[in-house]
Amino acid sequence: MLKYSLSLSVKQKTIAMKKLNPFFVIGTVGMILTAILHILMAILIGTPSVHRVFMVMYPVFAALLTIGGMQILQEKKMVKLRVRAKNRR
């Protein structure tokens, strides 16, 4: 019985992961990788030119993350509107 419920929850999680917005995923992964690379390069090289390169990359991934987040919020609002419209009938 427990094994069945665990497999069901894993299946539900994989379905939810497939529905993630690609802009949100790219923005999140890009921000994480950029931050890790920035920290490593700052420690290993330590020159100010390293910071300039990464300061250009942060706004790009932040913009993608923002676009993806806004699209997710819009989809959630649309789902709520559809549910309310169906319940009124």
Residue 15, pLDDT score: 53
Whether residue 5 lies inside any domain: the answer is no
Whether residue 51 lies inside any domain: the answer is yes
Percent of the chain with pLDDT over 70: 70
Whether residue 27 lies inside any domain: the answer is yes
Domain total in the chain: 1
Terminal C-alpha separation, the chain: 38
Structural domain boundaries, residue 53: 22-88
Whether residue 7 lies inside any domain: the answer is no
Whether residue 2 lies inside any domain: the answer is no
Whether residue 11 lies inside any domain: the answer is no
* Cα distance between residue 63 and residue 56, in whole Å: 12
Residue (of 33, 34, 32, 19) closest to 68 by Cα position? 19
Percent of the chain with pLDDT over 90: 36
Q: Which value, to the nearest 10 degrees, does the dihedral of the CA atoms of residues 18, 23, 25, 29 take?
A: 160
Whether residue 77 lies inside any domain: the answer is yes
Give the model confidence (pLDDT) of 1-27 as tens digits.
455 555 545 555 555 556 789 999 999
Whether residue 8 lies inside any domain: the answer is no
* Cα distance between residue 65 and residue 3, in whole Å: 36
